Amino acid sequence: MLIAIPDVLKPVEVAEIRRLLEASPWVDGKVTAGEQSAKAKYNLQIPENSDIARQLGDRILRALGASAEFVSAAQPLRVYPPLFNRYDTGMKFDDHVDNAIRPVTGANMRIRTDVSSTLFLSDPDTYDGGELIIEDTYGTQAVKLPAGHMVLYPSTSLHRVAEVTRGSRWASFFWSQSMVRDDGQRRLLYEMDVAIRRLRAELPDDHPSIRSLVASYHNLLRRWAEL
């Protein structure tokens, strides 16, 4: 399931994050790649254990917690601390699948990567190329969203970042371990939640149809959730 979520960050928030990132040191992006991915990865990253990465990561986590769309789509149990990367002209990330398990730096824990997320920090007209290209059940999809918008997709997907041919593409990326491991089940719950929210905009909350759908939603979540 590929879902684009608009306006996770407001333009003023994107500008402030960009200002802080511009003043920060960048390192070779291979530092967070697995053995196979490192052979395909050509980008830069903010060191994940740096103060600025933690500060900005916490800001993004708060924005995610306030996003009903993210919570509905990802059903997050744990979210990996957000990382930050940039692709300058000539940089790319060839076809790869994200590591299934990631240890959290500085914490005695690991997460299973069920849902991958990219939060764009550059507007599309500031760079050429740099599309996030995802192979999913609906075929190949190229994603290039406005700054502050985010895309979610299954971590099992083969994906790549096309070579940047002009400008620089900046983003935050991270993974979620979902309460609902199966992507098909997550899709059904998300579509049901979207329908419930639409009905609530048209009918009173105590309408029998809404009560019935909400009950079914929670009973399915109770059946499928892993805590």
Read off the CATH number of the domain in which 73 is found.
Answer: 2.60.120.620
Q: Which secondary-structure segment (H or E) carries 35?
A: helix 35-38
Q: Could you tell me if 55 and 155 lie in one domain?
A: yes
Q: Please give the mean pLDDT across all residues of the chain.
A: 94
Structurally, the chain folds into a number of domains equal to: 2
Residue 207 assigned to a binding site: no
Task: Give the residue ranges of the chain where pLDDT is below 50.
Answer: none
Closest CA to 55 of 23, 88, 31: 23
Q: Could you tell me if 147 and 203 lie in one domain?
A: no
Q: What are phi and psi of 59, to 5 degrees?
A: -65, -40
**pLDDT for res 40:** 79
Q: Could you tell me if 168 and 192 lie in one domain?
A: no
Q: Could you tell me if 119 and 215 lie in one domain?
A: no
Residue 169 assigned to a binding site: yes
**pLDDT for res 87:** 97
- Kindly list the distances between the CA atom of residue 34 and the CA atoms of 102, 135, 180, in Å, as whole numbers in the listed order: 10, 20, 25
**pLDDT for res 66:** 97
Q: Could you tell me if 106 and 134 lie in one domain?
A: yes
**pLDDT for res 205:** 83
Up-side HSE of residue 34: CA atoms within 13 Å toward CB?
10
Q: Could you tell me if 147 and 164 lie in one domain?
A: yes
Q: Could you tell me if 188 and 172 lie in one domain?
A: no
Residue 159 assigned to a binding site: yes
Question: Whole domain around residue 212: which residue ranges?
Answer: 183-224
Q: Could you tell me if 85 and 187 lie in one domain?
A: no
Q: Could you tell me if 27 and 124 lie in one domain?
A: yes
Q: Could you tell me if 63 and 105 lie in one domain?
A: yes
**pLDDT for res 38:** 62
Instruction: CATH number of the domain at 204, please.
Output: 4.10.860
pLDDT one-digit tens code per residue, 156-193: 999 999 999 999 999 999 999 999 999 999 999 999 99
Residue 98 assigned to a binding site: yes
Q: Could you tell me if 207 and 168 lie in one domain?
A: no
pLDDT one-digit tens code per residue, 53-81: 999 999 999 999 999 999 999 999 999 99
Contact status, residue 75 vs residue 180, Cβ threshold 8 Å? yes
Q: Where are the beta strands (DSSP E) in 8-91?
A: 27-28, 41-42, 44-45, 76-79, 83-88
Q: Which secondary-structure segment (H or E) carries 52?
A: helix 51-65
